Structure 1
Amino acid sequence: MKLLLPFFTAVFASDRIRGVSITRQALYPPGTHFTCLDGSKKITRAQVNDDFCDCADGSDEPGTSACPNGRFHCPNAGFAPQNILNSRVNDMICDCCDGSDEWGGFVDCPNTCKEEYLAAHAEKIEAQKAQVQGFEKRQDLVDEAKLQKISDEEELAAAEPEIQELQKIKDEADKLKNEAEELETKVNEELEAVKNKKIVDRAATYSEEDISEIAFNHLDANKNGEIVVYEITSQKYLDPKPETSSFTTKEAKEVMKQKDKIYLEDFRAEIWPEIKEKIVAKLERAMDEWDRKIDEANKPDEPKKPEQVAEVDQETVDYSEESLDAMEDELDEQEDYNDALEPVNHNDELSDEHQKIFDAAKAARKVFDDADRDLRDAESKISEIKDRSKRDFGPDDVFRSMNKVCFEFKTTEYIYTLCPYDKCEQKPVNGGSGTKLGSWEGFENDFNEMHFTNGVKCWNGPNRSAVIKLSCGVDNVVLSVTEPNRCEYEYKFETPAVCTKPEPVPDHDEL
């Protein structure tokens, strides 16, 4: 190869210096000498491109492979000029589309610049089409954001009087609920007094021996004449340590005096005296069953019903002003029937009037709960609108549509989630809990990057974080997720939100 160099050097001596772009030819002026571009050395003109490296910066051998740190310029006429490493010159591999890097003639390099230009031009046309579509979608996002912003402002303007009205309705419902519950409580207290009196009166007709037998039968669940551990543990009120969460076998054996079985006589002698107070409250049902057949025929008649009062329809009740007034009138009417609640007129069965009072209280609670829920919903909605108004949705509010929206990217191992204004997460494909890669931090790089920080801490490492690289695209889509550095994740995300108005592609351009 070196035998051919003097010939080629001579050919190009009168032309431009091989391997140097037109714009840099002035650095190699005609003359008998050449000064290295770094100024370190002066050599003869003949030493330029003589396949021997004289200058430390490699500037004397732009057209050969002699200097490892040099660069060779490919003109690539009709396409894109490029600079390649000098080591690729005359290496029998065609690097320049015009074949100028293989000037030694050791390999025939066809000129493919036209074909490469046409392919690149077609690719650029397609990219421009996508950018046009993306920009059109961006304009739609901007228009949509304007409408959303106007809607938010209108809702905020109307919110204050609406919330005041809902608060008024809730306060009225609360007042009626309290009145209804006060009457309900009174009825319950009087009914309880009647029941207690009946228990006392009934108990007086039985001896201590009878009462203890009733208690024994009450605890003897399977009625086999003996009480065992599970029959004790099933009665939580007998737990000697009620502050604990469970009634254990050990604690039950304490009640049973460490015996495995308790018979009636042992129960009367050893167990009954200690649990008597606890079990009295539970005796009513057992005593009712004991006495049911005896006094079935002599069961007191139903008390006479007072005048009918307006019934509360719980399924159709609302909290309109008319409905609240009607409920208030009903509660006033029911106060007139307090005389009917005297213990002497009661039996164990609820009268219709009692039930109406309970139904009215239940309906009043429902009205209050509905009013309270609607008020809280309205306040939550307004809070959400105010929160949106403080967010940075970028130029023209173009990112507003991404608020509370998530995107996914799936690999063979993980599903990566991107939720702008919230978080990034990594979840195993086969299920299991996710790992937070970061919480929303904000935009960077002129709204071309989203940053998420302070994710779950890596084992013996930093907290995870994620950077979202945005590029123009027709749709919102995560293209890839990588981990370039430990615990630092990078998403590639296409979105029309960052598309700019495209420039027209010329018929012929040298890229």
Structure 2
Amino acid sequence: MLHRAAVVAVIALSACAAPTNLHGLTPETQAKVATASSLSCDNGQKSLPISSINDDYCDCIDGSDEPGTSACSHTGVLFHCLNEGYFSSDIPTSRVNDGICDCCDGSDEYLHPSSCSNTCGVLKAAHDEKMAAKSATEAAGRAARQQLVVKAKQAKEEAFRKRTDLESTKRDLEAAVASANELKSAEEALEVQDRRAASQRSRQAVADSLGLSSMSADQLASVIIDLSLKVYSKDDVLAALRATGVTSSRLEALEAQYVADDEAHRAEVSRITAVNDERRKLKEAATADADSTDAVIVDTTTDTDPLPLPPAPARPIVTLFETISKDEASERPEAKAARDAAADAQRKLDQAMSELSTLQTTLEKPYGPDDVLLAVKDSCVEATSGQYAYKLCFFGGAHQDTVSLGTMQPVDAALRELKFTGGTKCWNGPERSFTVALECHETEELYSIEEPSTCVYTAKLRTPLACAAPPTASAGHDEL
């Protein structure tokens, strides 16, 4: 392990002459060496005259006697650069007097004092300028973050207020649903009664029309048995009734009229079909003549348009049974209105409950210090890197073009990074993930997007979210 000369703890004090070469020692160690008589090294196994320090000969295995020369560079001992006016630093002793200026004060090249100019002042000025710019950026970032904190606080207060309103609305809607369902049940009960009465009337009318009312029990039994032996049609009903010898003169008259009407209808359909065929041929011939002679085409649409076919007559027995179906399915206007009102009330309640659930989930999420992330919820940051477009959305997903890099995971209290996991699985590899380190800045910028390993992506995000509270007055470098 690299170490500064362990000279401090192993110096024996006396009034003997101190070494003249104190390069590479800290000011504290130099003061002690000035009054010391000997040096103990290698964990106390060796004692040397104090004059052995920096005599360009490596006496100690740990190299502690040569912090200012390269004699013990193989040990890892360090040379201390004072760098007065800037930050002190330590360098390997192998760099001492090698012709390259490593210390900004040039102290590592003390054998060639004219070869190194003191650049500590220049470095300090550049450092101060950089720190001033950094401080200004952080101050602007903190101001921007404070605006986000205010926005987040307002958003949270609004969310709590909305939750209270929704809870009240939910209670009102639950009462409205209960009342609407009660009214619906009452109206539907009346509707059932109306349907039964209408069905009874229509069934009686059908029975009268079919002549069932005048049949004996044996005749009715015969009809039922005949119909039970097959999957019946309306013609089967008529056949079964006629087999009893008792038929309805009214229905028979209607059926006879239907047969006549149906025959007339078929004849008319045949006639119109023939006329339409003739008109079609005439129109095709006229078009062919016009194409061959370039003659002026006379509008003949009136005489050549196809005639409409007449509607088929309704069969009496079919109409008779349809009456029952219509009556049994009839809607009571009051019942329909009650059903619509109950459905509308339930829809409003479901919507309120969904909004309340979503809002509760929103309030329970962690939003980092001061709930600052609530201010950017559902907002997105985009960037282009290479041939790809990247996009991340707070509390949403991250994408590389259309490829998912995952969804955002809960943040920690320090809010140092955002993690997106569970993205599109790589071929023969893991699910894609995206880790974004946050840096303090006044504005948002996604940059330094990399893929350090297969389908594992990293990036940096400049954002006010990462701007912590201003530093205390005691913070800073004691060396300056």
TM tier relative to shorter chain: 0.5 to 0.7
In the other structure, the counterpart of 1:380 is 354
CA contact (8 A) 2:54 2:67 kept: yes
Residue among 111, 116, 125 paired with 2:118? 111
C-alpha distance in 2, partners of 1:388/1:407? 21
Partner of 1:474: 442
- Say which SS state the counterpart of residue 435 (structure 1) adopts: strand
Q: 1:74 and 2:47 equivalent? A: no
Counterpart position of 2:458: 490
2:378 match: 404
What is aligned with 2:412? 443
Q: Which residue of 2 aligns with 1:102?
A: 109
> What is the alpha-carbon distance in structure 2 between the residues aligned to residue 200 and residue 454 of structure 1?
77
- Structure 2 unaligned regions, length at least 5: 1-16, 203-233, 235-250, 274-278, 282-306, 314-318, 321-330
TM-score where L is the length of structure 1: 0.56
Residue 100 of structure 2 is matched in structure 1 by 93
The equivalent of 1:250 in structure 2 is: none
Q: Is the 8 A contact 2:37 2:50 kept in 1?
A: yes
**Structure 1 residues 421 and 210: alpha-carbon distance in aligned structure 2, compared to 1, 3 A threshold:** same
Code of the aligned partner of 2:457: Y
State the partner residue of 1:162.
169
Matches within 5 A, 1:10-409: 14=19, 17-25=22-30, 28=33, 30-31=35-36, 33-36=38-41, 38-39=43-44, 41-66=46-71, 67-68=73-74, 69-105=76-112, 108-166=115-173, 205-206=261-262, 289-291=308-310, 374-409=348-383
Amino acid at match of 1:162: T
Instruction: For residue 368 of structure 1, report the CA deviation from its aligned partner.
Output: 7.8
Task: Report if aligned partners of 1:393, 1:399 keep a CA contact under 8 Å in 2.
Answer: yes
Matches of 1:201 and 1:410, distance apart in 2? 83
Instruction: Give the percent of matched residue pairs that are identical in Structure 1 and Structure 2.
Output: 32
Question: Which of 396, 402, 406 does residue 422 from structure 1 map onto?
Answer: 396
Cα distance change, pair 33–377 in 1 and its aligned pair in 2 (3 A): same
| C-alpha distance in structure 2 between counterparts of 1:443 and 1:83, whole Å | 37
Q: Measure, in 2, the Cα distance between the counterparts of 1:200 and 1:85.
A: 122
For 1:202 and 1:411, the matched residues in 2 are separated by 82
With over 3 angstroms needed to count, the CA separation of the structure-2 counterparts of 1:93 and 1:168, relative to structure 1, is same
What residue in structure 2 maps to residue 229 of structure 1?
Answer: none
- Displacement of 1:19: 0.8
The 8 Å contact of residues 48 and 60 in structure 1, kept in 2 or not, is answered as yes
Question: What residue is the counterpart of 1:261 in the other structure?
Answer: none
More deviation, 70-79/103-112: 103-112
Alpha-carbon distance in structure 2 between the residues aligned to 1:37 and 1:442: 50
Distance 1:58 1:165, change over 3 A: same
CA–CA separation in structure 1 for the residues paired with 2:310 and 2:126:
102
Gaps of 5+ in 1: 1-11, 191-195, 218-222, 226-287, 296-342, 345-356
* In 1: Cα distance, 2:46 partner to 2:433 partner: 51
State the distance in 1 between where 2:114 and 2:427 align. 55
CA distance in 2, matches of 1:199, 1:369: 46
Residues 369 and 106 of structure 1: CA distance in aligned 2, closer, same or farther (over 3 Å): farther
Are the aligned partners of 2:149 and 2:375 in contact in 1 as well (CA < 8 Å)? no
How many Å separate the matches in 2 of 1:58 and 1:493? 46
Stretch of structure 1 that moved more, 463-472 or 403-412 = 463-472
Q: How far apart in 2 are the matches of 1:135 and 1:199?
A: 94
Structure 1 residue 210: Cα displacement: 5.7
Deviation at 1:115? 1.8
Larger Rg: 2
Distance 1:95 1:151 in 2: 59
TM-superposed CA distance for 1:493, in Å, is 2.1
Aligned length: 356
Among candidates 460, 464, 469, match of residue 432 of structure 2 = 464
Q: CA deviation at 1:173?
A: 7.8
Q: Is the alpha carbon distance of 1:29 and 1:418 closer, same or farther for their aligned partners in structure 2, counting shifts above 3 Å?
A: farther
Distance 1:91 1:136, change over 3 A: same
Q: CA, structure 1 residues 467+16, in 2 after alignment: closer, same or farther (shift >3 Å)?
A: farther
Shift of 1:43: 4.0
